[in-house]
Amino acid sequence: MMSEILYKASRPDGWDFRTGGTLDYGTALASGAVLLHPRPGGMIRNNASTYISLSSEPGEVLTGGSFPCRLFMAEPSGEVITSDEYTFKRCVKAVRIIRELPSWQALGPNGKAAEAVLSRLVTLTADEATRLRAARDAARDAAWNAARSAAWKTARDAARSAAWDAAWKAAWDTAWNAAWGAARSAAWNAAGDAILAHLTRDLISEAQFQVLAGPWISVTGDVT
C-alpha cells in the first residue's frame, strides 16, 4: 500500500520550527536520505518532543510555525500515529522529504493571494500607509463598522486556523518593523483585513470581501 502523502513546513533556512537546530529538512531534501528523529524510544501521543509532526493538509502545516517558510512534500517511514487534538496531524519517527512546494500553499488554498498582500506590505511606502489610514477613515461609519464586524466574524470563523495565525503574525511583524510612524496601525489593520479576506474568499460573500479588503485594494490595487 502506498504511504499517505504528507506535508511539512520548516523555517526559511530549512531547519525545524520547534527547536531551530534539530532537524534539517532542507538538507534531507538535497540528500534524499530518510530523516530520523534524534530522540530514542517510541512516540508519545501529543508529546511533540518524541516525534516529527507532519500534516495531511498543506494549509495546516504552520501550527507552531510561522510565515515565511519552506514547504515540503513528505513520505512517512515506519509507524504513523495520529493526534488527539488535530485531525490532520500525523506523527512519525522517520520521514523522507520528497520535494519542495511553493511556500504560499502553507497558507491554504487561497494562500497565493495572501502572500501577495504580504509581499506588497513589505514595499509599502509611508505615503501609502498614510493613504491607507485615510481610506479606512473615509469608509468608517456606523454602518461600515457593523458590516466589517460581521464580515470579520464570518471570515475568521471560516479561516484555516494555522494559516491565518501565521499570515496575521507575518503582517504584524512587517508593519511593526517599517518606519511608518502613526500610520503603522492603520496599515497593519488594512493588511490584516485584506489577508483574511483573501484567505477566505471562497467562504465569504463578495460584499464581505469588499468590506474587508476594500481599503487595501483602493490604495495598492487588487492582487488577483
- Closest C-alpha among 122, 7, 25, 5 to residue 63: 7
Q: Where are the domains of the chain?
A: 6-103, 108-220
Choice between 188 and 179, residue whose per-residue pLDDT is larger: 188
**What would the mean pLDDT of 13-19 be, rounded to a whole number?**
94
C-alpha pair distances (Å), 224 with each of 32, 41, 45, 115: 36, 49, 41, 11
> 98-102, 188-192, 196-200 — which one is most confidently predicted on average?
98-102
CB 130 within 8 Å of CB 183? yes
Q: How many CB atoms lie within 10 A of CB 24?
A: 17
- H/E stretch holding 123: none
The confidence score (pLDDT) of residue 201 equals: 85
Choice between 114 and 173, residue whose per-residue pLDDT is larger: 114
The confidence score (pLDDT) of residue 179 equals: 60
Does the global pTM surpass 0.95? no
Q: Is pLDDT of 5 > 90? A: no
Q: What is the pLDDT of residues 68-89, one digit of tens each?
A: 899 999 999 999 999 888 888 9
Q: How many residues does the chain have?
A: 224
- pLDDT band at residue 160, thresholds of 50, 70 and 90? low
- pLDDT band at residue 197, thresholds of 50, 70 and 90? confident
Q: Is pLDDT of 44 > 80? A: yes
CB 190 within 8 Å of CB 212? no
The confidence score (pLDDT) of residue 1 equals: 40
Distance CA 134, CA 139 (A): 9
